[in-house]
Amino acid sequence: MTLFSLVKWDPRCKIILMACLSTLAMLRGEVWFLFGLLVFTCLLVMLGGAELSGALGQVKGLLGLIFSLFIIQCFFTRSGEPWLVIGGFTLITSGGIELACILSLRLFILAFSALLLLTGEVRDYLLALVQMKIPYEIAFMTMASVHFIPILREEALNVFYAIQLRGCELQKASWRKKLHTYLEICLPILVGALKRTRAMALAMEARAFRAYPKRTYLRRLVLKKNDKAILVAVPVITLVLLVY
Amino acid sequence: MALEAKNLYFKYPKGKKAVLSDFSASFLPGELAALTGANGCGKTTLTKILLGILQPQQGLVLLDGRNIAELTLAEVGRSVGYVMQNPAQQLFCTSVEKEMDYGLLNLGLSEEEREKRINYYLEYFQLSRHRKSFPFHLSLGEQQRLLLAAVLAMKPRYLILDEPTAYLDVYRRRLLGEHLQKIRTELVCGIIVVSHDRDFVGEYCQREVVMPGAGMVENHVDSPQRRAL
Ligand SMILES: Nc1ncnc2c1ncn2[C@@H]1O[C@H](COP(=O)(O)OP(=O)(O)OP(=O)(O)O)[C@@H](O)[C@H]1O
Ligand SMILES: [Mg+2]
């Protein structure tokens, strides 16, 4: 079900919205509030027509991390009333549970609000950042690093395959062996990444990056009426929620 | 005994069009086959499927009669040697010597045998003077030779080389071609070479599998001295 289209929103709106959601998530510390915020974010992503199957796939990877953080928080925070006592030793306290909930909710909100950004194209965000008066170099670097994460992943996989094809049994290996292999992979990936950044810098300069202080852009982003409304309303609501 | 692809259908999750559809081919031991076709027609993709790195949505790959999906990559690696298109992405050791030794150690060979093979292959591909070098500081052609040496030293029964001559000079290309001929006849190794190099294909390959966009046409390289250019 799609009520409005996130794809059509101005990228600046999405950036602001994400920044506001994350700020709220980090600064407010009540479970009920964070839960409401999470529901709101989810609704926004779902009703906005973000591709949910893909979106869930992105969040799935985080689940394990969030779950383990939840457990750790539960066990290592000692405050409030004891909830579970085994053999005279307090295992879980109400304070621990609360903190664990807050932390997990925050992470979920961050993840879902980042999904908002996935509804746009990278070059649009680059343009948005530039039109928000952020220096082009910095905007470009930020976007380039986002762009390169999947490529780094692919390279890591290639090395991983190469290691296995040369006879290193990983699927049946002990965790020590696995760890050792992962550390081995780090080297070629780091070297590759460094080499490529150098090559990319050269290639960019060869194509006149920063040769002139000002550069031109093929397109300009223009704010529509509802974009303007969002740009004003979202920060105001955020401020109100923060003060209240 | 063969490396067979049966009715493969493959589409990348993010791709719009199927790269392979109903593709079948078989590669025999003791044969040097060339896999050719235009850029982006799916040669690299096919090689990755043949090794079990990518899983086809339909069809299967048989390695000497065993379904490759049931083998681990390491098990496949013991019978099939693979040199990928991009040399830098397959090096992971801190010296040329260790890079050579890695696969041999995994095969469980004796110290003596390993030493013998390393010496032979480094000598053959003229890398002896780089023995202690950091692999990432080699030139592209040297990296490619190092990889060929490291994989060939494992003496696999099948060999898949993706653009093995891309960075090699004329002389090194001939060294490679002659060595491939030698292991083809002496070790009855089945070799698949992905190549845009008409000279190399004409001179050393017995059979050419041409991949069009989807499906395939097969024809034989009739005269070994054929020059396409
Ligand atoms: N990871 C991927 N995701 C989506 N599409 C891909 C991916 N890798 C390759 N493709 C697409 O699949 C097609 C086949 O790619 P492949 O690398 O197999 O071509 P190739 O025949 O090896 O070409 P070349 O001669 O340039 O090496 C191409 O159109 C490519 O754009
Ligand atoms: Mg290729």
pLDDT at B32: 94
Determine the distance in angstroms separating the CA of A110 from the nearest CA of chain B, rounded to an integer: 25
Around Cβ A27, how many Cβ atoms within 10 Å? 10
Residue B48 Cβ contacting ligand 1 at under 6 Å: no
pLDDT at A2: 63
Integer Cα distance of A233 and B63 in angstroms: 63
Integer Cα distance of A75 and A91 in angstroms: 6
Average pLDDT over residues A101-123: 85
* Residues of A with Cβ-Cβ distance to B92 under 8 angstroms: 159, 162-163, 184-185, 187-188
pLDDT at A3: 66
pLDDT of residue A96 exceeding 90, the answer is: no
The protein residue with its alpha carbon nearest to ligand 1, atom 17, reads B44
Comparing CA positions, the residue from B29, B64, B50, B47 lying closest to residue B190 is: B29
- Strands B217-220 and B207-210 turn out to be antiparallel
pLDDT at B184: 92
Domain boundaries, chain A: 1-120, 121-213
pLDDT at B225: 45
The tokens describing B181, both together, are: 């001929």
Integer Cα distance of A60 and A57 in angstroms: 5
Instruction: Write out the DSSP string of B83-113.
Output: E-S-GGGG--SSSHHHHHHHHHHHHT--HHH
Residue B38 Cβ contacting ligand 1 at under 6 Å: no
Around Cβ B83, how many Cβ atoms within 10 Å? 23
Q: Which residues contact B156 (CB under 8 A, 6 or more apart)?
A: B77, B78, B79, B80, B81, B189
The string of pLDDT tens digits covering residues A199-226 is 888 888 888 777 777 777 888 888 888 8
Q: Which residues contact B167 (CB under 8 A, 6 or more apart)?
A: B87, B139, B140, B141, B143, B144
Comparing CA positions, the residue from A93, A126, A113 lying closest to residue A11 is: A126
Residue B43 Cβ contacting ligand 1 at under 6 Å: yes
Residue B39 Cβ contacting ligand 1 at under 6 Å: yes
Average pLDDT over residues A137-162: 82
B174: part of which helix (H) or strand (E)?
Answer: helix B170-186
Determine the distance in angstroms separating the CA of B74 from the nearest CA of chain A, rounded to an integer: 4
Q: Is the ipTM of this complex over 0.90?
A: no
Of all residues in chain A, the percent with pLDDT exceeding 90 is: 8
pLDDT of residue A81 exceeding 60, the answer is: yes
pLDDT of residue A129 exceeding 90, the answer is: no
- The predicted model scores a pTM of 0.72
Q: Measured between CB atoms, does A155 come within 8 Å of chain B?
A: yes
Return the bridge partners of B158, or none. B80, B190
Spell out the alpha helix ranges (H) of chain A: 11-27, 31-47, 52-76, 94-117, 122-131, 136-165, 175-206, 225-243
Integer Cα distance of A205 and A228 in angstroms: 37
Average pLDDT over residues A218-244: 87
pLDDT digit of tens for each residue in chain B (229 aa)? 899 999 999 999 888 889 998 999 999 999 999 999 999 899 999 999 999 999 999 999 999 999 999 999 999 999 999 998 888 888 888 899 999 999 999 999 999 999 999 999 999 999 999 999 999 889 999 999 999 999 999 999 999 999 999 999 999 999 999 999 999 998 899 999 999 999 999 999 999 999 876 444 444 454 444 444 4
Determine the distance in angstroms separating the CA of B107 from the nearest CA of chain A, rounded to an integer: 7
